[in-house]
Amino acid sequence: MRIASLAAPVLAALGLAVALAPAAPRAEPIAEIAAIVGVPLSLDAHKIKLGGALRAPEAWSAYKKRFIAEQGRVIDTANDQVSHSEGQGYAMLLAVAANDRATFDRLWGWTRANLMVRNDELVAWRFDPQRRPAVGDMNNASDGDLLIAWALAEAAEYWDDLPFRMASRRIAVELSRKVVLFKTKMGALLLPAVAGFNASDRSDGPVVNLSYYVFPALARLDSVAPEVDWAGLTQTGLDLLEASRPTPQTLPADWIALEGWRARPAEGFAPEFAYNAVRIPLYLAWAGVGERAHYAPFLAWAQRAKAAPPIVDVASGKEVGQFGGSGIASIAALVACVVDGAKLPADFAAPKADEDYYPATLHLLALLAAQMRYSSCLAN
């Protein structure tokens, strides 16, 4: 896999790269380059197996009790008790990491019975128990598909289960056929869904969501679908992260339009670094990819996040709100660990009481990423 060289961030800082958004003028570019590039990060992108990697039984037990129904449905407690393919995928990954085969089987069984209702191998994105039919929108969400396929691939390897491997492959191959645009001017683009985001669907399209580039999943799915260019998708994700920021300090927006191959916040979405894009640094760190220039805006955000991480307007750089739940601060702590070697809080592995599904999930994922790759940052 080609990881972006130091030359790209340097040129980007100078405004000389082939940028898809105009760069703002800078008074002292050389000093700025030194601050951005600094010492290369000690990242290790080697592939790590997920099975059994989560060493936090109390946190996993609390998570199951609060968010996973007996039949295997993951409940979004802050969103009218609905369920998503994303949530099923996250919980399936955590179940493999916790070596909890019984819970994994319930999660996969419910997902297969209730969300795999399309006429292909992809997963319907939303289930609302208050409506009939509960799946009112047959569109998929590519991050949910990636997470589920990855979880199945890890389960297949860890528990030596061929049906899991076959199911993972079917989803992964279908995803590559229906939501990846290969050989564009930006490389291999991962669309957020089959419908609604291509140039034929939107005047500012194609539209992408960089938090749907689940980098640790892309690194592992070659075990079930080696013919797909997962490494190319990873590189495009890194390239898009740089191209979507007018300055090296700018945070990426949740939704990015690429009409005319110029990156800018997508029409109809708030131009904010918010609940989607906050997952980008988590996925970078979890996969062990990227360079200091990729992490720079997230480190600046982390340094001002503390217990109340801000939602940021990407155009002005101003805080326009705050994330609910301290679990999102776990991502800020992980970024500080990756970039500066900062120790994670002593209670990092403790369950977060009274948090809703999304921040609680991100906390547990950040803990898993730390246990897999950054044990030096964990408190002794």
> What DSSP string describes 104-168?
HHHHHHHHHHHT--SSSSS-BSEE-TTSSSS-----B-HHHHHHHHHHHHHHHHHHT-HHHHHHH
Residue 27, Cβ neighbours under 10 Å: how many? 6
Tell me whether residue 28 is one of the annotated catalytic residues. Answer: no
Per DSSP, what are the bridge partners of residue 127?
83
| Angstrom distance (rounded) from CA 5 to CA 239 | 11
Angle among Cα 128, 213, 163 to the nearest 5 degrees reads 65
Active-site position among 76, 86, 204, 313: 86
Contact by Cβ (8 Å): 52, 46: no
Nearest to 345 by CA among 316, 313, 370: 370
Place of tokens 């492959």: 169
Which tokens in the block code for residue 199?
Answer: 């140039």
Cβ proximity of 315 and 66 under 8 Å = no
What residues have CB less than 8 Å from 13, skipping those under 6 apart?
26, 29, 32, 33, 36, 37, 248, 293
| Identified catalytic residue from 100, 121, 143, 313 | 143
> What span, in angstroms and rounded, lies between the C-alpha atoms of 252 and 244?
6
Say whether 313 is catalytic.
no
Record the tokens describing residue 309, joined without a space: 């991480």
What is the rounded distance in angstroms from the CA atom of residue 119 to the CA atom of residue 100?
A: 31
Q: Quick check: 240 and 263 in contact, CB under 8 A?
A: yes
Known catalytic residues? 86, 143
